[in-house]
Each structure stands twice: as C-alpha cells, then as structure tokens.
Amino acid sequence: MSMRKNIVAGNWKMNKNLQEGIALAKELNEALKEKSVHCDVIIGTPFIHLASVVDVVDSNHIGVAAQNCADKAAGAYTGEVSAAMVASTGAKYVILGHSERRAYYHETPEILKEKVLLALANGLTPIFCIGEVLEERVSGKHFEVVKSQMEASLFDLPANDFGKIILAYEPVWAIGTGKTATAAQAQEMHAFIREALTGKYGAAVAGNASILYGGSCNAANAKELFSNPDVDGGLIGGASLSVDKFMPIIEAF
C-alpha cells in the first residue's frame, strides 16, 4: 500500500502584483476552509509574494512554493534569491526545472542539480519538472529525454533525499498551449517514470513518489487525468490564477 500524496499545485508564474496575489491567496484559503478536499494544495508565487502569502493562508490547507531558487548558497550574486531565503519566508516548497526556466534562463541539468541540493539542505521540498519538447515526442525520444533529465539532476541523490521530491511531468508542448496530453499519454509516461524510479531506488520509494501532470490542465480534463493510477495530481499554470478555475481542479480528487 503506497503512502503517496495527491497534490494540486498552482504555478502563478510572473502574474499578479503583491496586492492581487494576497487577495487570491486569501480567497483560496477561504474557499478551502469550507470544503474537505482530498489532496494537498500548494501555490507557487513570485518571490516577493512569499512572506505575505504565507502570512494569510492556513498552513493546514495551503502550502506555499517559490518558483525558483539560486544555485549558490549566498554571497555576491546580485538579483538572486537563495533557498535559505525562500525557507525563511515560511515557504515549504520550491518549483525547480520548469521548462520556462530551462528554455529562457538556460538552466542546465547541472545547475538544477545544485538547486535541488540547496533546496533539500534548507528543508524545502522541490517540485521538480521534467518533460519533452514537441520534436522529441514526434521523434519518439520522449521516454529517453525524461529519464535523462532525472538521471542528470536527481539520480545522484541518496534514496532518503530522493524520497522528499515531488515530480511534475510537463510535456512542454502542452504548457500554456491549450493542448493537453491525453489521459493515456499521461499515464503511459507516469508509469514509465515510476518504473525508472523502481529501477533506481526500488519499489517502495517509487510507490511513494508523487508524480504530478502539468500542461493545460483545467476543470474539464482534471478528473480524467487524475483518475489514472500513476497520476498523483497536477501542476497548474493558467488555471491557478483564479479560485473559480483552480477549485474545481482541486475538487477533481
């Protein structure tokens, strides 16, 4: 019997000013107070929102995530925010390796490996994103790509540390495009990921790992996606920006 958690995590990306973000977090907190939901709920906010959002949400209902952290511990790195600083706000999670960070900010597997280590060292739970671009899927390389992303950034971790990580499979061609992977495509990849984890860390660690799906997940498709045995929830971009759109995804569990 696995102990893995179902999780719905929002990724606000670079949206909402501070006041708007606080208002959204409060509204979601109120909505969750009234319901008994069957998954953990996380919101990933910009850095500047973290401390304020942590302040207004009930940590029993909502976990707070940063969307990135530095690959260095501290020092002369102008403009960067360290994992220790994120942790000091009360945030418990950090999204790492999002495809937008990989593509637009040139985050390599090696850089991401450092970020994962620093996140873990500071008590943060990484939500680690993996996923192929369209050409890789079309040419049949998607399994290989996803496995090598895990190998390069995560598979040097001891099992105990790996066990703290939440994975998010996000096919890049489905992010923000309105094209969702079919439930069958999601299940196929999630089962492949879990098999790779079994090979590396054994059945217990693999069975306990939460593997989220991300990519144009919404109220209309969440239930079908989440009903797959290896899909343990979602990482939600666009649809996490309003309670009206986000709540039905949470309630899909």
Contact set with ligand PEP (CB under 6 A): 11, 170, 175-176, 214-217, 235-239
Residue 214: in which H helix or E strand, if any?
Answer: strand 211-214
Q: What tokens appear for 20 in the block?
A: 């708007």
Q: How far is the CB of 1 from ligand PEP (least distance, A)?
A: 30
Q: How far is the CB of 178 from ligand PEP (least distance, A)?
A: 8
- Phi first, then psi: what are they for 207, rounded to 5°? -70, -25
Q: How far is the CB of 127 from ligand PEP (least distance, A)?
A: 9
Q: Would you call 98 a catalytic residue per the annotation?
A: yes
Nearest residue relative to ligand PEP (C-beta):
237
- Strands (E) across 81-160 are located at 93-96, 125-130
* Residue among 12 and 201 whose Cβ is closer to ligand PEP: 12
* Residue among 186 and 239 whose Cβ is closer to ligand PEP: 239
Which among 120, 14, 126 is positioned nearest to 73, based on CA atoms? 120
Quote the CA–CA distance of 109 and 37 in Å, as a whole number.
35
| Catalytic member of 98, 100, 132, 136 | 98
* Residue among 149 and 216 whose Cβ is closer to ligand PEP: 216
Q: How does DSSP classify residue 175?
A: T
Q: What tokens appear for 237 in the block?
A: 């971009």
Q: Coil, strand, or helix at residue 69?
A: coil
Q: How far is the CB of 126 from ligand PEP (least distance, A)?
A: 14
* Residue among 8 and 201 whose Cβ is closer to ligand PEP: 8
Quote the CA–CA distance of 229 and 31 in Å, as a whole number.
28
Which among 237, 193, 174, 213 is positioned nearest to 43, based on CA atoms? 237
CB atoms within 10 A of CB 159: 12
Q: Coil, strand, or helix at residue 236?
A: strand
Q: Coil, strand, or helix at residue 222?
A: helix
| Catalytic member of 100, 132, 136, 170 | 170
* Residue among 195 and 224 whose Cβ is closer to ligand PEP: 224
Q: How far is the CB of 223 from ligand PEP (least distance, A)?
A: 16
**What residues are annotated to the active site?**
98, 170
